[in-house]
Amino acid sequence: MSSLPNLHALIVGALSLVMLGVWVSGRTPDQQANAAGAVEPEPEVVEPPAPAPPPERERTVVAVKPGDSLARIFKRHGLSARDLLHLATRSGALGERLKDIYPGHELAFERDGSGNLIYLQYSPGRLETVKFERVGEQFEGSKVIIEPDEVPTYKHAVIETSLYLACQRAGLSDGFAERLANIFQWDIDFILDIRAGDEFHVLYHERYIDGQPYRDLGEGDVLAAQVITQGKSYRAVRHEDGAGNVGYYTPGGQNMRKAFLRAPLDFSRISSNFNLKRVHPLWKSAMPHRGIDYAAPTGTRVKAAGDGTIVAVSRNRANGKYIVLQHGRSYSTKYLHLSRFASGIKKGKRVAQGDTIGFVGATGWATGPHLHYEFLVNGVHQNPRTVRLPAGTPIGDAERPNFELASMSLLAELEGYKTRPRLAYADAEQ
């Protein structure tokens, strides 16, 4: 709605310019010469001021209040019920939009000199405005859709306690933190791997409307990103192929998506509730295990680490409620101490990577709520955090030239920002 005061300011500005123009051109060259100091006297001609024309269109802007309907607003402003009827029932599908108007949204209308409604517009959001112009008795509807401008934007942050807080400090939303973590979730365990001093660089689309940041739909796409954790660098670049499929790839064209997630837990709840400093010693104490313990609040979503089949959904004294998944011939994963299973989870069912299979709990031999996670290759336990994971599908040969062209330019842009730290930090403070 901020565009309307701007528009108003523009109109006022334009009007005063016009008046200025009239005033300047209303003076004869002699008068101007007088003003410049010439001495020849001249009888002063005072022209009667032109009467101000009645305003042709009087504009009213209304913020929709709780409980408002178009009918109430019309009544409040003395607009005709007949016009209301025409608008709401005879302007086609767009007229329907006026039947549900929501508090906080904006309605604007204009009346002619006699007080008749000649124009009405309603904006259900900043991206859309429906407009109705009077044509005789009726109103003709039209719709304006605004496409926000997308501007490649760079941010950098050093992680002190969590990815969330680092993102917040860089002016990025929680949703963005989750998207960033999801891009790297096959390589980086954002629950256990992240240390104070880790950092990220990201190039993404920030959206703007009329030069103002627009975040109602969150930030735009992540274009390229680098996460540096414990001295290791991971880079990902976004690519959309000719068929519109979007994926993230390493600079060499390997798919970021792999057959297994690095951590089978919904990271968002853990990072927001658990401090890294508390989680870290837990992992150390878990080393003698054949698996990893993730301390997490009861009820935290547990995800299938990879596509597979459920081979066990059961309960015993030691494991409590547990699930075993088989992935192809060689791989299996185990999830122990669950508080409950997700609905529909039963033996023989196929699950996809990321599907919720259960929820963290403290059933069986557990001192507190946590997930005990095991990763086996041909029946042998592996450290899930370091095991080499089977690769996903890389960029295809046909797509490779496009990918290389696009990814090189994105990565070069990211590098360019990184080597201009002052500019980068100024940007981060916007």
Interface residues with Zn ion (CB under 5 A)?
289, 293, 372
Element of type H or E holding 298: none
Q: How far is CA 206 from the centre of its chain?
A: 9
3-state secondary structure of 207: strand
Element of type H or E holding 293: strand 292-295
Nearer to Zn ion, 382 or 402 (CB): 382
List the beta bridge partners of residue 312.
324
| Amino acid letter, residue 174 | D
Supply the minimum distance, in Å, between the C-beta of residue 275 and Zn ion. 20
Nearer to Zn ion, 219 or 293 (CB): 293
Nearer to Zn ion, 59 or 289 (CB): 289
C-beta separation of 196 from 238 below 8 A = no
d(C-alpha 148, C-alpha 194), whole Å: 34
Nearer to Zn ion, 84 or 286 (CB): 286
Nearer to Zn ion, 64 or 360 (CB): 360
Q: First and final CA of the chain: distance in angstroms?
A: 22
User: Could you count the other beta carbons within 10 Å of the beta carbon of residue 263?
Assistant: 25
| Amino acid letter, residue 168 | Q
Supply the minimum distance, in Å, between the C-beta of residue 290 and Zn ion. 8
d(C-alpha 214, C-alpha 208), whole Å: 5
Instruction: Tell me the C-alpha to C-alpha distance, in Å, between residue 351 and each of 25, 183, 368.
Output: 79, 21, 28
Q: Report the candidate in 175, 166, 248 with the shortest Cα–Cα distance to residue 215.
A: 175
Supply the minimum distance, in Å, between the C-beta of residue 302 and Zn ion. 14
Supply the minimum distance, in Å, between the C-beta of residue 228 and Zn ion. 29
- Backbone φ and ψ of 311, nearest 5°: -105, -15
Supply the minimum distance, in Å, between the C-beta of residue 94 and Zn ion. 60
Supply the minimum distance, in Å, between the C-beta of residue 368 and Zn ion. 11
Nearer to Zn ion, 172 or 295 (CB): 295
C-beta separation of 230 from 419 below 8 A = no
Report the C-alpha dihedral over residues 252, 187, 268, 208, rounded to 10 degrees.
-10
Supply the minimum distance, in Å, between the C-beta of residue 272 and Zn ion. 23
Nearer to Zn ion, 198 or 293 (CB): 293
Nearer to Zn ion, 33 or 282 (CB): 282
Nearer to Zn ion, 183 or 263 (CB): 263
Residue nearest Zn ion by beta-carbon distance = 372
Supply the minimum distance, in Å, between the C-beta of residue 291 and Zn ion. 6
d(C-alpha 11, C-alpha 159), whole Å: 48
Supply the minimum distance, in Å, between the C-beta of residue 336 and Zn ion. 7
Residue found by looking up tokens 């980068």 in the block? 424
Q: Report the candidate in 266, 297, 316, 321 with the shortest Cα–Cα distance to residue 369.
A: 297
d(C-alpha 57, C-alpha 49), whole Å: 22
